[in-house]
A and B are shown apart, each in its own frame.
Chain A
């Protein structure tokens, strides 16, 4: 008799837990597209294809399917790879193959040397974000505010009249730098860089457990 009760109790327990888990699986189902969207939101949308995929969305889908590494996006840099690592719970890998910090390229924009443009429209077709305007046999020009700096237009140009130039800093884009204050007294200012490095390596404290 007792053994029967034991079996019944165990069965009941299993049933209840099973039902709860089954309900949770339905109730809290994670949509596959949702995570793709989140990954895509982290990618910089330059659509440059440097990752080997035809744009940011295909790359995001490949990451979610587990077919691509998270460190293939040079425009996103290490910062982006870190975010992806956090989101997906994967291990962080630096983008530039072990280089530290140098992975983020300065922002570039394409400039067409308009006198040399022959109006072939090849760059217009290559531009993934419609940032080049012009018509056949008319001069083309890059709308600089829309250019993502993906460099996809450079190769197709038959007359090589497209340059990638870095975007100059203006009052609107200027930012305050990370504070650099020497840790030692002012007389020993010459060894500032070392000190700064030493100071910055303990960036988060125990406080951050909260």
Chain B
């Protein structure tokens, strides 16, 4: 079946660097000495720990409960003992520590007894709940909880399975499609049935002929007529969700809409596989395929337990002596990890050993000459140099007016910039400031509302009190009129007495507190 393809504007063609790692089959990485499993591995809220130090856990056992709908569960990747539940560094550009569960493996790698759910007879809501509990998140790098993407309220037409893998160096999806095409197609079928879409489009860049062949074979073996494997031209960022949807369907997703608003949903091939494993085997996400490449002797793809420290993993590829860092993800959109021993997480599709020779430090930034090279390669058809001017001048409202929000941070602009301006970082900076300002505004609005309500309440109480006093005074006057002989003053004596009593209570409490603090202090000393 010939599929009409569309084009997106812009895009770049950096050197692929896929040959290094795409040759060898996926190997299974050995058990590491320690596993550090961060509890915030997906977009949305971090999971809440449900294990304590000293607990014995089995592989696949629940260790973090999803917190709210936009969150995903976390599981033990192997059997062993929980030795710590504490903040640890995670692969995040902030270099911040997040609550993590540290497990010392017992070497047995013993699974929890797995039970596949009867998902065909379960309600869609229950299936989504199951996927959330199985910790299924987007494996392409973004880590968005998958169940949240399957809750469709609109009628969908197309399901896009993203096997484009457009970033240089990364080959994990390529190997996965070559070796586990059947499971990917089966997983896609499950998603198709859940979303009730008419058509499944599997988009693969034309630089992966073996993967294309394997996927086509798997689709044919399944006898699925609604599936088509579509070969898309190799052009970065063809694997960006908006660009891939554009290429496959001709539809363009605006920044203020979701793809489902246009009848399309999109999943990565590795995510489809996780869905299949969760529903057909009852297996939660405890491992993933990671490409090890870059400044190494032997690049390749490994099946890795989530939580494996990156230095232990990278050692398998024998990094060269001048390795000075690790990039997680691709070289266009990945992040420099803050330390060598941060763990592999669900979104870690690729580890690239950095070296000054392979990734030279950025040359000094020069003034923008408005050459427009960035605008010509921007797949979102933005004017990055305009966004740069406004971001640099911290004029965020202007940056927004020039559609900063539409930027997908693909890095094409910075790649071609002759002045070496770190454009993407300027945009990330601006976006962060805008997001923070919006949050602050929201907080200020709520503070204002509460302040006004408090004032209103105070007014009301005052009015009520005044009314009460007036009534009491009236009653008093009536009483006085009735009993002229009674000497005045009794009333106020009681009031004074009451005030004294209150003072005394506070004084007593203050004294108690002082004693208590003194006691604490002396204990501390």
A and B touch in the complex (CB under 8 A): yes
A: residues with CB less than 8 A from B are 40, 43-47, 55-57, 115-116, 118-120, 128-131, 146, 148, 158-159, 161, 169-171, 173-179, 181-186, 199, 203-205, 207-208
Interchain CB contact under 8 A, B426 and A179: yes
Looking at the assembled complex, report how far the CB atom of B46 sits from the nearest CB atom of chain A, in whole angstroms.
8
Which among B363, B431, B445, B448 has the highest number of chain A CB atoms within 10 Å?
Answer: B448
Interface size on B, residues (CB 8 A): 49
What are the residues of chain B within 8 A of A158 when measuring CB–CB? 506, 509-510, 513
- Interface status of B199 (Cβ within 8 A of chain A): no
Chain B minimum-CB-distance residue to A56: B448
Beyond A44-B440, A176-B425, whether A159 also contacts B510 by CB under 8 A is yes
Q: Which residues from A are CB-within-8-Å of B467? A: none
- In the complex, what's the smallest C-beta–C-beta distance from A81 to chain B, in angstroms? 15
> Most B CB atoms within 10 A — which of A116, A170, A178?
A178
**A26–B524 CA distance with the chains assembled, in angstroms:** 72
Q: Please name the residue on chain B nearest to A178 by beta carbon.
A: B429
Structural contact, A129 and B451, CB atoms closer than 8 A: yes
Q: Which of B188-196, B205-213, B224-232, B389-397 contacts A (4 or more CB under 8 A)?
A: B389-397
The residue on A at minimum CB distance from B431 is A176
Are B451 and A55 in contact (CB-based, < 8 A)?
yes
* Of B71-79, B93-101, B325-333, B483-491, the one touching chain A: B93-101
**Cβ-defined contact, B513 with A205, below 8 A:** no
A184 x B364 contact (CB < 8 A): yes
- Whether the pair A182, B94 counts as a contact (CB closer than 8 A) is no
Q: B residues engaging A (CB < 8 A)? A: 40, 46, 92-94, 96, 98, 361-365, 389, 392-395, 420, 422, 425-426, 428-429, 431-433, 435-436, 440, 443-448, 450-455, 506, 509-510, 512-514, 516-517
B392 touching A118, Cβ below 8 Å: no
Q: Residue A170 contacts which of B96, B365, B444, B454 (CB distance < 8 angstroms)?
A: B96
Name which residue of chain B comes closest to A207, CB basis. B389
Query: 26 A-B pairs, CB-CB below 8 angstroms?
Result: A45-B444, A46-B444, A47-B448, A57-B452, A116-B517, A118-B506, A146-B446, A158-B509, A159-B513, A169-B96, A170-B96, A171-B40, A171-B92, A174-B92, A175-B432, A175-B433, A175-B436, A176-B93, A176-B431, A181-B364, A181-B365, A186-B361, A203-B393, A204-B393, A204-B395, A207-B389
Chain B nearest CB: distance from A124 CB in Å? 10
Give me 11 other A-B pairs in contact (C-beta within 8 A), A171-B96, A205-B389 excluded.
A43-B444, A45-B445, A45-B451, A116-B513, A128-B454, A146-B447, A159-B510, A169-B96, A181-B362, A186-B364, A203-B393
A-B pairs under 8 A by CB, number: 116
B393–A129 CB distance below 8 A: no
State the Cβ distance, B194 to closest chain A Cβ, in Å: 30
Q: Are A176 and B512 in contact (CB under 8 A)?
A: no
Contact status of A46 and B447, CB under 8 A, knowing A118-B513, A158-B510, A170-B96: yes
> What is the predominant secondary structure among interface residues of chain A facing chain B?
loop
Which A-B residue pairs are the 5 nearest by beta carbons?
A175-B432, A45-B444, A118-B509, A176-B428, A159-B513
How many Å lie between the Cα of A34 and that of B363 in the bound state? 50
Which single residue of chain A is at the shortest CB-CB distance from B454?
A130
In the complex, A176 Cα to B96 Cα: how many Å? 12
The answer to whether A129 and B509 have CB atoms under 8 Å apart is: no
Interchain CB contact under 8 A, B364 and A185: yes
Complex: chain B residue closest to A188, CB-CB = B364
Which of chain B's residues have a CB closer than 8 A to the CB of A174? 92, 94, 96, 432
What A residues does B443 contact at CB under 8 A?
Answer: 45, 148
Known contacts A45-B447, A171-B92, A182-B364; A177 and B429 CB within 8 A of each other? yes
Closest to A203 in B: B393
Identity of the chain A residue whose Cβ is nearest the Cβ of B398 in the assembled complex: A208
When distances are taken between beta carbons in the complex, the residues of chain B under 8 Å from A205 are: 389
Contact present for B425 and A204 (CB under 8 Å): no
Closest to A199 in B: B365
* CB nearest neighbor in B for A176: B428
By beta carbon, the residue of chain A nearest B422 is A179
In the assembled complex, the Cα of A176 lies from the Cα of B426 at a distance in Å of 9
A169 touching B444, Cβ below 8 Å: no
Give B235 Cβ to nearest chain A Cβ, in Å.
Answer: 27
Q: Tell me, in angstroms, the Cα distance from A177 to B516 when the chains sit together.
A: 45
Q: By the criterion CB–CB under 8 Å, are A203 and B365 in contact? A: no
Distance between Cα atoms of A183 and B366 in the complex (Å):
7
**In the bound complex, CA of A173 to CA of B436 (Å):** 7
Q: How far is the CA of A203 from the CA of B436 in the complex (A)?
A: 22
Cα separation A118 to B510 with both chains bound (whole Å): 7
Nearest Cβ in chain B — how far from A63, in angstroms?
16
Residues of B within 8 A of A186 (CB): 361, 364
